[in-house]
């Protein structure tokens, strides 16, 4: 069982991380602007699901395997770059007055969030550096504690990123009535995320 005092220290730290802007938040922002609130929340759920996969991998110690086989990291990384560029091209091609109607459905938005987060293996290194600070071996199985803390981070991220995307969806609904640049805005966000992942050390 997790010590309540440890939990009191963990929750504010995790929340501070959740509200820090990053690629996941930008993805949900783009989804909200382009396709509305439902797709923004779906993308946020996909991001959180990907984060839970990272937490599970890190908790099982497979981060060491990725370190031993750099090609695996590189392959997943470039798949992520290609996927983000694909999203950027799709957004740019469908830019225009009716762009919002041609946006991603929630299921596709979920997949976009999931695979985008999953392709960023920096999440594993972050998890391995952050969560162990709060794990207390005497409190029970380390792996279960790892999963519990990871689930809290994923839940916080879901709420924060979803709210950001939902707010952007409201903005997007107004923009699309008066501008044909919405596809260019979201396409540029996707392209910037792809470049960031490509040049990441």
Among 178, 173, 64, CA closest to 125:
64
Question: CA-to-CA distance for 186 and 162, rounded, in angstroms?
Answer: 16
Q: For residues 31 and 165, is the Cβ–Cβ distance under 8 A?
A: yes
Percent of the chain scored above 70 by pLDDT? Answer: 75
Mean pLDDT of the chain: 78
Question: CA-to-CA distance for 158 and 184, rounded, in angstroms?
Answer: 26
Q: In residues, how long is the chain?
A: 201
Question: CA-to-CA distance for 134 and 124, rounded, in angstroms?
Answer: 16
Break the chain into its structural domains and give their ranges: 37-199
Q: 3-state SS of the chain: helix, strand, coil percent to 5?
A: 85, 0, 15
Token couple for 54: 């990272």
Sign of the four-CA dihedral 95, 186, 27, 38: negative
> pTM to 2 decimals?
0.72
pLDDT score of 93 more than 70: yes
End-to-end CA, the chain:
37
Question: CA-to-CA distance for 111 and 7, rounded, in angstroms?
Answer: 31
Tens of pLDDT, residue by residue over 112-160, are 899 888 887 667 767 776 787 788 878 788 788 889 999 999 999 999 9
The mean pLDDT value for 159-169 works out to: 90
Among 47, 33, 157, 165, CA closest to 113:
47
Sign of the four-CA dihedral 175, 180, 185, 190: positive
- Residue 183 C-alpha from the chain's centroid: 21
Tens of pLDDT, residue by residue over 173-185, are 665 555 455 667 7
């Amino acid at each position: 069982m997790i010590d309540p005092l440890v939990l009191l220290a963990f929750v504010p730290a995790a929340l501070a991380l959740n509200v820090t802007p990053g690629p996941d938040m930008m993805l949900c922002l783009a989804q909200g602007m382009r396709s509305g609130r439902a797709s923004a929340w779906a993308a946020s759920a996909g991001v959180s699901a990907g984060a839970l996969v990272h937490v599970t991998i890190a908790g099982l110690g497979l981060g060491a395997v990725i370190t031993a086989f750099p090609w695996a990291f590189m392959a997943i990384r470039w798949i992520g770059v290609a996927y983000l560029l694909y999203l950027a091209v799709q957004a740019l091609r469908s830019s225009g007055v009716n762009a919002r109607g041609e946006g991603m459905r929630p299921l596709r938005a979920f997949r976009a969030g999931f695979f985008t987060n999953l392709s960023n293996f920096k999440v594993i290194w972050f998890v391995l550096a952050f969560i162990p600070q709060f794990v207390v071996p005497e409190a029970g199985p380390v792996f279960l504690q790892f999963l519990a803390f990871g689930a809290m981070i994923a839940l916080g991220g879901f709420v924060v990123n979803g709210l950001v995307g939902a707010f952007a969806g409201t903005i997007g609904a107004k923009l699309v009535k008066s501008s044909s640049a919405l596809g260019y805005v979201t396409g540029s966000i996707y392209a910037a995320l792809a470049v960031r992942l490509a040049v990441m050390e």
